[in-house]
C-alpha cells in the first residue's frame, strides 16, 4: 500500500483508467483525468461516480499540474501522438503504461518512450488483466497478482504501492528489458478469455513454498 498521498494524472477515463482512478481516489490519492472529450459517456460516468472530488480536464491541463505519477490508459494506437505532443511534460516522470497495441508486432511502446521521454521512469503494469479484475481483485478471498516491470528504486516502490492500493499483489519481473515477459502474460489472458471463451473476471496467482 502507498505510504503517502500522490498526485496522479490518468490519461484516459475508460474502463481501465476510470476503474484505477476510482480505486486510487478511494485510497486517498489526488486523481486527475486527462481526456480528449470530457462529454463522452464514459467520462460522464466517472464524473457521476466521483462528482467534483476529481479533476477531469484536457491532457495538457492535467500534465501542467506536475503530477507525481502519469498513467497511460488510452488506446495503444494513440500512444505515439500523445508522447510526441507532450514529450516535455512526460520526460523525467514516473509513467505507468497500461496500454496495449493490439494487432501490432509488439503490444508495448517502449521504443516510443525512449524516443520522446528518455529520462522518464516507465513501468509496464495494468495491461495484463481486464478491468473487472481491478474493480474486484479477490477470488473467494484469494488476492490476484499483477505482473509488472520497470526500473529499480524509489519509483518502483511507488508503483508497487499503487498496485496494492487497487487491491492486487504486485509481482515484479525485473527492469524495462522484461517488458516482453509482462506482455506475454497479457497474451495469455487474451488467449484464455477471447480464445477459450473464459470469463473476463480471470486473473493469475503465483504460488511458492
Integer Cα distance of 106 and 145 in angstroms? 23
Say if 206 falls within a structural domain: no
Q: Domain containing 108 — which CATH number?
A: 3.40.50.720
In a domain, 203, yes or no: no
Q: Is 97 within the bounds of a domain?
A: yes
Q: How far apart are CA 59 and CA 107, in angstroms?
A: 23
Residue 110 within a domain:
yes
For 181, the domain range is 7-195
Q: Nearest 10 degrees: CA dihedral of 69, 73, 75, 80? A: 0
**Whole-number pLDDT of residue 3:** 63
Q: Name the domain count of the chain.
A: 1
Residue 131 lies in a domain: yes
68 in Cβ contact with 158 (< 8 Å) = yes
Residue 201 domain-assigned (yes or no): no
pLDDT tens, residue by residue, 81-108: 999 999 999 999 999 999 999 988 899 9
Nearest to 4 by CA among 119, 162, 178, 163: 162
| pTM of this structure | 0.95
CA 9, CA 72: separation in Å to the nearest integer? 9
In the chain, which residues have pLDDT < 50? Answer: none
149 contacts 173 by C-beta, under 8 angstroms: yes
pLDDT digits (tens, 9 = 90+) for 175-184: 999 999 999 9
| 191 within domain boundaries | yes
Is 126 inside a domain boundary? yes
Judge contact between 65 and 7, C-beta under 8 A.
Answer: yes
pLDDT at 169: 98
Amino acid at each position: 500500500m502507498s505510504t503517502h498521498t500522490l498526485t496522479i494524472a490518468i490519461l484516459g477515463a475508460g474502463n481501465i483508467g476510470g476503474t484505477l482512478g476510482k480505486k486510487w481516489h478511494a485510497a486517498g490519492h489526488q486523481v486527475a483525468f486527462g481526456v480528449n472529450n470530457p462529454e463522452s459517456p464514459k467520462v460522464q460516468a466517472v464524473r457521476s461516480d466521483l462528482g467534483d472530488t476529481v479533476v477531469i480536464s484536457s491532457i495538457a491541463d492535467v500534465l501542467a499540474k506536475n503530477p507525481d505519477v502519469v498513467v497511460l490508459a488510452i488506446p495503444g494506437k494513440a500512444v505515439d501522438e500523445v508522447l510526441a505532443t507532450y514529450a516535455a511534460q512526460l520526460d523525467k516522470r514516473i509513467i505507468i503504461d497500461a496500454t496495449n497495441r493490439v494487432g501490432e508486432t509488439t503490444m508495448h511502446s517502449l521504443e516510443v518512450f525512449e524516443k520522446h521521454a528518455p529520462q522518464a521512469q516507465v513501468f509496464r503494469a495494468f495491461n495484463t488483466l481486464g478491468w473487472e479484475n481491478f474493480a474486484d481483485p479477490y477470488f473467494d478471498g484469494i488476492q490476484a497478482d499483477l505482473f509488472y516491470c520497470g526500473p529499480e528504486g524509489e519509483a518502483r516502490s511507488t508503483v508497487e504501492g499503487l498496485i496494492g492500493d487497487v487491491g492486487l499483489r504486485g509481482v515484479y519481473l525485473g527492469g524495462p528489458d522484461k517488458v516482453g515477459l509482462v506482455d506475454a502474460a497479457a497474451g495469455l489472458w487474451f488467449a484464455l478469455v477471447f480464445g477459450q471463451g473464459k470469463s473476463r473476471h480471470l486473473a493469475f496467482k503465483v504460488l511458492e513454498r
